[in-house]
Amino acid sequence: MQRAAWASRRGPPRSQDRGQRRCLSISTEDSGEAALPASSPACPPPSRPSPPALPRRRLIKPVVARSAGALCPRRASRCRHPGSCASLLPLPSRARIMRPDDANIAGNVHGGTILKMIEEAGAIISTRHCNSQAGEPCVAALARVERTDFLSPMCIGEVANVSAEITYTSRHSVEVQVNVMSENILTGAKKVTNKATLWYVPLSLKNVNKVLEVPPIQYARKEQEDEGKKRYEEQKLDRLETKQRNGDVILPVINPEPHTVGYSQSSLIHLVGPSDCTLLGFVHGGVTMKLMDEVAGIVAARHCKTNIVTASVDAINFHEKIKKGCVITVSGRMTFTSNKSMEIEVFVDADPFVDEPRERYRAVSAFFTYVSLSKEGKPLPVPQLLTETEDEKRRFEEGKGRYLQTKAKRQAQMQEAAQQ
């Protein structure tokens, strides 16, 4: 009697209770199947009529732009038809708000910060594409950055939107176009700040010295492929020429005079740690470019003693990989000044101390252009660079030639745009 009374207070057995709950859930969910009949022994008659069964609903996931190597929209597997799905579709825009530690004392975002974001976007889309077909896994390594103009400054509090797309592939390299747009989230105003072209090569995860083949892409027009091939040949030739003139070194100058090359030249020493490196254990190209921009900014500030911002970066060539554990020396010197701009040559030398002791080697080289700004953001005249040695005079004339060539190209582009 006591056991029966306790059972009546406890309710139906747990197995029967589970069956009842299971029946109710089946009859009310959108499962696409008919509910159990009311006369089913596993389910007592419901107290109210069950709702009619609804057709099965499919979970629809949002579709985003993919590069080749993302899941193919036609089937849930790796894409096996390169170029026909999304090789030419851009990487979805990545947004990041600019913080005080991203900018200088005047509130302008460092050019190196933007260059690092550009390189990250390029590395993502090129690595995805290079792994789009079955084969040896790889990571895309930055080989070169074409001339990059900083069209307008970006400030603290603005949002940087970075997007990338693959524009050309050769047998062993990928060309990526990256665009950066700033957004004022208070007013909604948007403007393009940067357009950059980067070249990557796929390196095997099993053998870092092995360059793998790149899956081809399909072009909308034959002219696109011809133009891309022309750009590829030009950058290849320029890289060889740059590597041949990379024997220069920067030596310290005792008691230099103001506005001379020795007065403003600067160097930075950095130990490469794990946070600086890719999966292969080599330095991210974006990390190197950020350090180079810092050194170039110091050189420009020492020369003119005002607020300075990055105006453009000439082609950056990555000649050799920099391994984790290396000590790198980033050196910069003034090469040319116009009325309102300064050209600074920056190169990176690596000293390997871990695993592979070898002599110091030149890893990266580039030219940065800076402008001087007032507190109101207006361009200021730049003090003329005083050249003393024959090498300094030669570099000044070479810089002047690059300046005039860039100026003529910009004027031609403006005239072409006006005609259109």
Q: Which of 102, 276, 293, 314 is catalytic?
A: 293
Task: Show the tokens assigned to 335.
Answer: 């090469």
- CA dihedral over 300, 304, 306, 309, signed as positive or negative: negative
Distance of CA 135 to the CA centre of its chain: 25
101 noted as active-site residue? no
For residues 198 and 201, what is the distance between their CA atoms, to the nearest angstrom?
A: 10
Phi, then psi, of 418 in degrees rounded to 5: -65, -35
For residues 300 and 334, what is the distance between their CA atoms, to the nearest angstrom?
A: 8
Q: Which of 104, 149, 238, 248 is catalytic?
A: 104
339 noted as active-site residue? no
Rg of the chain over all Cα atoms, to the nearest angstrom: 30
DSSP collapsed to 3 states, the chain: CHHHHHHHHHCCCHHHHHHHHHHHHHHHCCCCCCCCCCCCCCCCCCCCCCCCCCCCCCCCCCCCCCCECEECCCCCCECCCCCCCCCCCCEEEEEEECCHHHECCCCEECHHHHHHHHHHHHHHHHHHHHCCCCCCCEEEEEEEECCEEECCCCECCCEEEEEEEEEEECCCCEEEEEEEEEECCCCCCEEEEEEEEEEEEEEECCCCCCECCCCCCCCCCHHHHHHHHHHHHHHHHHHHHHHHCCCCCCCCCCCCCCCEHHHHCEEEEEECCHHHECCCCEECHHHHHHHHHHHHHHHHHHHHCCEEEEEEECCEEECCCCECCCEEEEEEEEEEECCCCEEEEEEEEEECCCCCCCCCEEEEEEEEEEEEECCCCCECCCCCCECCCHHHHHHHHHHHHHHHHHHHHHHHHHHHHHHC
Residues forming the active site: 104, 293
